[in-house]
Amino acid sequence: MEFTAEQIAQFLQGRVEGDTSIKVNNVCKIEEGKQGALAFLANPKYYHYIYDTQASVVIVNEDFVLEKEVSTVLVRVKDAYSAFATLLELYNSMKNKKREGISSLSFIHKETNIEQNVYVGEFSVIEKDAYIGEDSQIYPQVFVGENVKIGKNVTIYPGVKIYHDCVIGNNCILHSGCVIGADGFGFAPLPDGSFKKIPQTGNVILEDDVEIGANTTVDRSTMGSTILKKGVKLDNLCQIAHNVSVGNNTVMAAQTGIAGSTSIGKNCFIGGQAGVVGHVNIGDGVKMAAKTGAISNVEDNTEIMGHPHLKARDYMKSFILFKKLPELEKRIRELEKQLDK
């Protein structure tokens, strides 16, 4: 489908600077712009591309100032990044229309409750007493265990495994290979050095609008529930252990690991390969840099870095000294030689 710059501006409540009738039928990065494509510009590092891009239309912030003329048509909006995200969502929904119907090659227990407009792909298994809400999409080779509750408009991509008794809220997205509700890592050491498995009798609850990346695992609780609250977003290859609670709208980048019985607050930003030990509380609004190792409680709205973690400003001050350690060691050895003489 094609859209004019004027139609895009109306949809985004922005204004056009240039030819309002120019048409686009695709999207692209600004540095890879081509005729007939739509791009956006929000990061100052990419400002210079605006003068060379071949994209027909570029979405920019209202306050963006041009240093010279451009050949592309601009659509000015309040927030270029969020506006482009809104357009991508529309573009994606049009490109990837919902599938319909239940494949004859799927296995669905006769005591399962499936609402209207649900798609179930080939070789998916839905076990006894499961519930699937309307408009949900279950792609091929998905396993849904006994008594699992899945809400409305949920998308579950191929190869997802949801163990028994887990609850998936409305509008959730589970990407390929993720596992929801596997046993938590609970073992009691015995006198002979072996370990006795502690039964994991709880479940996992994903509230509404949660998105789980590919090959991410969320373990069931020993008792009670492991909970990811509304709006949580997890990247690929994350590990959420048993009895963890993650607050509203918290996001975690790839390879993050959260140990058991830890509470993560709302609106937190956790960088890639970060780790949090068990039985601690991470406050609301915490920002955790990549590879941070949090080993104790963290107060609200704190930025932390390093392993073990420090406040970001303290870590940067310390890092200045870290870099000088070889030089300082050399100076100390020279002083020691002079003292010996």
Catalytic option among 48, 109, 164, 242: 242
Alpha carbon distances (Å) from 285 to 288, 300, 304: 10, 6, 11
DSSP string of 216-283, one letter each residue: -EEEPPSSSEEEE-TT-EE-TT-EE-TT-EE-TT-EE-TT-EE-TT-EE-TT-EE-TT-EE-SS-EE-
Report the candidate in 152, 168, 158 with the shortest Cα–Cα distance to residue 116: 152
Asked if 153 contacts 170 with a C-beta cutoff of 8 angstroms, the reply is: yes
Report the candidate in 291, 295, 254 with the shortest Cα–Cα distance to residue 276: 295
Q: What share of the chain is helix, strand, coil (3-state, %, to 5)?
A: 20, 30, 50
Between β-strands 233-234 and 211-212, what pairing exists: parallel, antiparallel or unpaired?
A: parallel
Alpha-carbon gap, residue 83 to 59, rounded angstroms = 8
Alpha-carbon gap, residue 57 to 28, rounded angstroms = 10
Write the CB contacts of 318 (distance below 8 Å, at least 6 apart in sequence): 306, 310
Does residue 242 have an active-site annotation? yes
Cβ atoms within 10 Å of 127's Cβ, excluding its own: 18
Q: At what angle do helices 80-95 and 5-12 cross, to 10 degrees?
A: 110
Active site residues: 242
